[in-house]
Structure 1
């Protein structure tokens, strides 16, 4: 008997997918640009696009169209989700290209110390919050211990892209404290993805000693293989890529291949994409330049589409229940206090003053893109339900909005030293900005 092949995608299914993607992308781009004009993170507008098209607004005003757009057929829902998952893998991979592990080595003990405290304290507080969370936030049939650990991971992550973007927009990258904040963000980012992979493996196999030990062994194996075998292999491949198109194809294959490997190990594909991006980025600046077109498509098309889809899954009416609204407020307080407390204790151990601790806490408190991805993974794995997913995404949005003003005021309290002035002038010279002492006096 010949093998049975799956039928091709039907015309109606394709139509629904195209309408979904077109509406989400159009709304995400428009509201994302509006958010930027209002000096807000673009992701806030992109999330709002999904919320407007989801059950919170369109679902109430035009229920018939919403039912057609958000069909309950699993196969149709998975089509749009698959597009979003590809976007997440490429987003994490291309973002990892810009991670400078050398910056962590240069800042040494300070970044590792603050990063460790800034990760462990909110992780512990988040786990404690998950243990006492209302039962209405737990999916049916899930262990509370696994839910608590995932909440801890969701509340302890920091968004390195958001941190770097904020410091760049505020023109603070020449400051020493800004460089230290980015280095701490690198530590939190990499460790957070590792913890997420452990949580994902536990979600698949249950909360047992083996479910914890196995992903940790895989993490150790992946790290060793990436450092010993991966780095020289990728450099060898990149050196033989003669054209920019070949470099881009090779780097993309590395990112997707690593994501495939970690997914096959029972871990999260996004962690593999992070490892692949780090390996590709270590091959040199040529790789980063060649991947500029892929990064542009990812950031301008796939990422907004994914974040709009993330908003589509939110239901703000869940917050109408007083118990859930109170839980959301408490989770926001726990998340914020955890990051600032971690920065304060880490700064004390690293012998930094309170002003530096405030800057580090403000920067690390921005969750943004990473926490939204974590929330989506939790919903996909069945660790979060719609109510808890909505709370986690709202925390990501709230912390990203509160970070810039706090960070701006905190940095202003730290005096600029001569080395920072020289660094700023050097960047102006490279940009073609006239020197201040060369400007004509009025």
Structure 2
């Protein structure tokens, strides 16, 4: 017990120490000005690509902007731009600058999840929690069953998982990836399609929220137990739980003065904005430092932020920069790590297609079956399954963490990026085919608002 305590204390004391391994030395080095030159050019190209591909996706495929940005990230990486113009792509995104892009990507996705947290509505859980539990349970149980079946085969393929990973951790990680639902995108689709006050919309939101919560808890468990020794596991689990308990007990009370200041002034002052962003940075730091991930800290803080005028003002000041400027860096960083050329054999292609098929079956199929068993008609159950099958940004976040922490290799990462994009692109058009068009024709739903999917 004393040794375990000493190991945990040692791990905690080294939070600000280098965590290596060190990057291999290069024949040349970059001066600070070189990083600056590359960064601003990279950001300009990223914004252009995301806007153009997002616009094309909206006009041609009626897809949300975020779907186009996911695809743009892959286009800018080695899978397309690097394949067609390798020298140009390498000059634009040299490996030495990836760490700078990584930090910007983490800030973007962390702020995005912070804003998602501020939109979290407990009412969705209460309204249809009982009826949604069966759909949620099916959307969790089936993916983990499928993961338990396919993971032993995946572990036999070199390069998909880390050599040192246990079968249990690999299974849990794959289960979390398959079980995940793109909750922010799900909420966006439901609002855009006029489903917010319908039984289908409420049920889907509730089930999706439960599924995401379980997936993130499983990921936190894998991160805490994978390759870090008992000290790291105790620090991650203990630190994470302590912070959650603190926020549940004291979070709203500590943060309430920020809301009162905004209500008093009728707007958010620069001081309140600075305090809010400082709280976000500290929350993200704490979760990163204990060994989980910054996005947990951002989302958790957002859940307990004051509501009302505070959130309205915060969204006006922070959301445009987070979504338009910073978040595209995350998609591009994901794209730079996506190597579709690594799926370069019939065996690997079949594995990629198998993972995609299993993911769709485990999520859409299981949620459809559960909805039917709870009394929903065929069209409604199909619509629920189509919405729950979308992975979106949340999938990219979880697999980026897996790649960063060394749980999976670049080949499996690329396969899961493909799965995330395909299941996300499927969601809106598939929903309209199986439910939306008939419901609008019968008058059950209104017309799709102009700009839906933007």
TM-score of the pair, normalised by structure 2: 0.82
1:119 and 2:144 are equivalent in the alignment: no
Aligned to 1:321: 345
Aligned to 2:32: 10
What is the CA–CA distance in structure 1 between the aligned matches of 2:433 and 2:56, rounded to whole Å? 25
Show CA shifts across 1:202-250 (max 9, x none).
Answer: 33526x8x87777555554333222211122112342235441344333
Aligned to 1:398: 422
1:92·1:270 contact (CA, 8 Å) conserved in 2?
A: yes
| 270, 274, 279: which one aligns with 2:304 | 279
How far off is 1:41 after superposition?
3.1
| 50, 54, 60: which one aligns with 1:28 | 50
Question: For residues 345 and 215 of structure 1, do their structure 2 counterparts lie closer, same or farther at Cα, with a shift above 3 Å needed?
Answer: farther
What is the CA–CA distance in structure 1 between the aligned matches of 2:54 and 2:436, rounded to whole Å? 29
2:127·2:202 contact (CA, 8 Å) conserved in 1?
A: no
How far off is 1:107 after superposition?
1.3
1:174·1:424 contact (CA, 8 Å) conserved in 2?
A: no
Aligned to 1:266: 291
1:41·1:400 contact (CA, 8 Å) conserved in 2?
A: no
Question: For residues 424 and 376 of structure 1, do their structure 2 counterparts lie closer, same or farther at Cα, with a shift above 3 Å needed?
Answer: same
Aligned to 1:343: 367
What is the CA–CA distance in structure 2 between the aligned matches of 1:189 and 1:67, rounded to whole Å? 36
What is the CA–CA distance in structure 2 between the aligned matches of 1:211 and 1:79, rounded to whole Å? 26
How far off is 1:195 after superposition?
2.2
Aligned to 1:151: 174
TM-score of the pair, normalised by structure 1: 0.84
Within 5 Å, give how 1:17-416 maps onto structure 2. Answer: 17-38=39-60, 39-73=62-96, 76-133=97-154, 134-145=156-167, 146-205=169-228, 215-241=236-262, 242=265, 243-245=267-269, 246-280=271-305, 283-292=306-315, 293-344=317-368, 346-347=370-371, 350-412=374-436
1:355·1:413 contact (CA, 8 Å) conserved in 2?
A: no
Aligned to 1:439: none
Aligned partner of residue 304 in structure 2, secondary structure: helix
5+ unaligned residues in a row in structure 2: which ranges?
A: 1-29, 450-454
Question: For residues 360 and 274 of structure 1, do their structure 2 counterparts lie closer, same or farther at Cα, with a shift above 3 Å needed?
Answer: same
What is the CA–CA distance in structure 2 between the aligned matches of 1:140 and 1:367, rounded to whole Å? 23
CA RMSD of aligned residues (A): 3.0
Question: For residues 61 and 363 of structure 1, do their structure 2 counterparts lie closer, same or farther at Cα, with a shift above 3 Å needed?
Answer: closer
How far off is 1:174 after superposition?
3.4
Q: How many residue pairs end up in the alignment?
A: 412
What is the CA–CA distance in structure 1 between the aligned matches of 2:233 and 2:150, rounded to whole Å? 21
Show CA shifts across 1:142-196 (max 9, x none).
Answer: 3142333212211111011211222233233332211221122222223322222
5+ unaligned residues in a row in structure 1: which ranges?
A: 1-7, 429-442
1:153·1:192 contact (CA, 8 Å) conserved in 2?
A: yes
Question: For residues 203 and 24 of structure 1, do their structure 2 counterparts lie closer, same or farther at Cα, with a shift above 3 Å needed?
Answer: farther
What is the CA–CA distance in structure 1 between the aligned matches of 2:354 and 2:179, rounded to whole Å? 15
How far off is 1:116 after superposition?
2.8
